[in-house]
Structure 1
Amino acid sequence: MTAATTSLIAITQGDPCGIGPETIAKAVAARATGPAVVVGDVAVLRRAVRQCGLLLPVAPVQTPGDALQAPPGCIAVWQPPGLPAGLADLPMGQVQAAAGQAAAICIDAAAALALRGAVAAIVTAPIHKEALSAAGVHFPGHTEMLQAAAGGAPVRMMLANDELRVVLVTIHVSLRRAIDMLDFDAVLSTLRIAHRSAAAWGQAAPRIAVAGLNPHAGEGGLFGDEEVRFIAPAVAAARAEGIDARGPFAPDTVFMRARHAPDHPGEFDLVVAMTHDHGLIPVKYLGVEQGVNVTLGLPFVRTSPDHGTAFDIAGSGRADAASLVAAVRMARRLAAA
Structure 2
Amino acid sequence: MNNDKPTIGITMGDPASIGPEIAIKALLNERLYDVCNPIIVGDAGVFEDIVSRLNLPAKINAVKSVSDAKFVYGQPDVYDLANVDMSQLKFGEISAMAGEASFAAVKKVIELALAGDVDATVTGPINKKSVNEAGHHFAGHTEIYAHFTDTKKYAMLLVEDNLKVIHVSTHVSLRQACDLVKKERIIQVIELLHNGLISLGEKNLKIGVAGLNPHAGDSGLFGTEDDGEILPAVEEARKLGYDVDGPIPADTLFSKAATGYYGGIVAMYHDQGHIPFKLTGFKWNAEKQQMDSVKGVNITMGLPIIRTSVDHGTAFEIAGKGVASPDAMVLAIESAIQLSKHRMQKA
TM-score range, shorter chain: over 0.9
Report the secondary structure of 1:221's partner residue: coil
Equivalent residues of 1:52, 1:318 under 8 A apart: no
Q: CA deviation at 1:62?
A: 2.4
Question: 1:263 corresponds to which residue?
Answer: none
1:195-234 alignment runs, 5 A limit: 195-203=194-202, 206-234=205-233
Which amino acid in structure 2 is aligned with residue 274 of structure 1?
M
Task: Give the direction of change, closer, same or farther, for the CA distance of 1:332–1:15 in structure 2 (3 Å limit).
Answer: same
Give the 3-state SS of the residue equivalent to 1:99 in structure 2.
helix
> 3-state SS of the aligned residue for 2:157?
strand
Aligned to 2:289: none
Q: Distance in 1 between matches of 2:52 and 2:151?
A: 40
Letter matched to residue 74 of structure 2: G
Report matched runs for 1:89-108 at 5 Å: 89-108=88-107
The alpha carbon displacement at 1:12 in A equals 0.2
Range moving further from structure 2, 215-224 or 205-214: 205-214
Distance, in Å, in 2 between the alignment partners of 1:230 and 1:155 is: 19
Q: Which of 32, 43, 46 matches 2:45?
A: 43
User: Which has the higher mean CA deviation after the structures are superposed, 153-162 or 190-199?
Assistant: 190-199
Per-residue displacement from partner, 1:236-267 (whole Å, max 9, x unpaired)? 1111111111100000010111113xxxxx22
Counterpart of 2:314 in structure 1 is 309
Cross-structure match for 2:175? 176
Q: TM-score, normalised by structure 2?
A: 0.90
Task: Give the superposition deviation at 1:206.
Answer: 1.1
| Aligned partner of residue 258 in structure 1, secondary structure | helix
Shift of 1:32: 5.0
Gaps of 5+ in 1: 261-265
Partner Cα distance (2:4, 2:217) in 1: 48
The verdict on how the C-alpha distance between 1:197 and 1:163 changes in structure 2, with shifts beyond 3 A counting, is closer
Alignment match of 1:278 (pick from 272, 275, 281) = 272
Contact 2:168–2:186 (CA<8 Å) still a contact in 1? Answer: yes
Which one-letter code corresponds to 2:220 in the other structure? G
Q: Quick one: distance in 1 between partners of 2:189 and 2:129?
A: 28
Cα distance, 1:132 vs. partner? 1.0
Whole-angstrom distance in 2 between the partners of 1:88 and 1:145:
28
Which deviations, in whole Å up to 9, do the C-alpha atoms of 1:181-200 show, x marking residues without a partner?
A: 22111111111111122221
In structure 2, what is the equivalent of residue 72 of structure 1? 73
1:53, distance to aligned residue in structure 2 (A): 2.0
Q: TM-score, normalised by structure 1?
A: 0.93
SS at match of 1:166: strand
How many residues were matched structurally?
327
Q: Structure 1 stretches (4+) deviating beyond 3 angstroms?
A: 3-6
Q: CA deviation at 1:133?
A: 1.1
CA contact (8 A) 1:47 1:88 kept: no
Superposed displacement of residue 27, structure 1: 1.3
- 1:330 corresponding residue in structure 2: 335
Percent identity of paired positions between Structure 1 and Structure 2: 39
Tell me the amino acid that sits aligned with residue 119 of structure 1: V
Task: Tell me what 1:114 maps to.
Answer: 113
Q: 1:241 aligned to 2:272?
A: no
- Kept in 2: contact 1:5–1:120 (CA 8 A): no
Q: Give the aligned residue type for 1:54.
A: L
Residue 16 of structure 1 contacts residue 88 of structure 1 at CA under 8 Å; is this kept in 2? no
